[in-house]
Structure 1
């Protein structure tokens, strides 16, 4: 099965996956991929533009390959703001979409404490898009911070 885990930056998407994925499952997380591709001491967030570009290409390749094996393994994919085209693909793949959202004030506080200020813009965009969309379920907190 494909699990698409969505939500704003610093919502707890990775934490949700850590609580649900098993050791045999595939986890496709751009932050984890970037860390794997960069040298010792690289930041866990706030990666450089070129590092992100290389990691993004690896992410696309991982998605293409992993989704060909959904009959034999579970795939957990973090996708903060999937486009309508991506959502259509996930629907064709019969994905289960999980939204992790502990609330805008919590997210903004986490970004202030742990992430670059640029992530505030991403979170603001996520919440604006969400307010314009139909509600699809209850917000879900990842864990107590």
Structure 2
């Protein structure tokens, strides 16, 4: 099964995946990929543009290969705000789209406390555009202890 996990920055997507994925499942998370490609002591969310470019390419390759094996293992793909084309592709793959959203106030508080200033704009865009692309209603869950 392919699970596409969406939600705003600092919404709890990674925590949801950690709670559901098993050791042999495949988890495709851009932040985890970037950290695995980065040098020592790289920041968790403020990635250099070149590192992000390489991580995006690795993510695309990982998705292409992982979907071939979704009948053998579960695949968890974190995609903050997929566009309509990406959602259509995920639907062709019979993906289950899971939206994690603890609520705008909680997200904005977390983003301001723990992320770079640019993430406020990303979170604002997520709340503005999520209904435009047809994301399912969010699951309100507390993630980890912040």
TM-score interval w.r.t. the shorter chain? over 0.9
- In the TM superposition, residue 142 of structure 1 has moved relative to its aligned partner by 3.7
- In the TM superposition, residue 113 of structure 1 has moved relative to its aligned partner by 1.0
Equivalent position of 1:96 in the other structure:
96
In the TM superposition, 1:1-145 aligns within 5 A as: 1-130=1-130, 132=132, 136-143=136-143, 145=146
Alignment CA distance shift 1:59-1:133 (3 Å): closer
Q: In 2, are the aligned partners of 1:101 and 1:141 still within 8 Å (CA)?
A: yes
For residues 142 and 28 of structure 2, the distance between their equivalents in structure 1, rounded to whole angstroms, comes to 18
Q: In 2, are the aligned partners of 1:2 and 1:93 still within 8 Å (CA)?
A: yes
- In the TM superposition, residue 35 of structure 1 has moved relative to its aligned partner by 0.3
> 5+ unaligned residues in a row in structure 1: which ranges?
none
TM-score (norm 1): 0.94
> 5+ unaligned residues in a row in structure 2: which ranges?
none
- What's the RMSD between the two structures over aligned residues? 1.5
Q: In 1, are the aligned partners of 2:17 and 2:76 still within 8 Å (CA)?
A: yes
- In the TM superposition, residue 137 of structure 1 has moved relative to its aligned partner by 3.2
Alignment CA distance shift 1:90-1:52 (3 Å): same
Q: In 2, are the aligned partners of 1:5 and 1:99 still within 8 Å (CA)?
A: yes
For residues 131 and 92 of structure 2, the distance between their equivalents in structure 1, rounded to whole angstroms, comes to 25
Q: Residue 98 of structure 1 aligns to a residue in which SS?
A: strand
For residues 120 and 55 of structure 2, the distance between their equivalents in structure 1, rounded to whole angstroms, comes to 22
Q: In 2, are the aligned partners of 1:102 and 1:142 still within 8 Å (CA)?
A: yes
Please identify runs of 4+ aligned residues in structure 1 that moved more than 3 A. Answer: 131-139
Aligned residues: 145
Q: Residue 77 of structure 2 aligns to a residue in which SS?
A: strand
TM-score (norm 2): 0.94
Alignment CA distance shift 1:76-1:134 (3 Å): closer
- In the TM superposition, residue 71 of structure 1 has moved relative to its aligned partner by 1.1
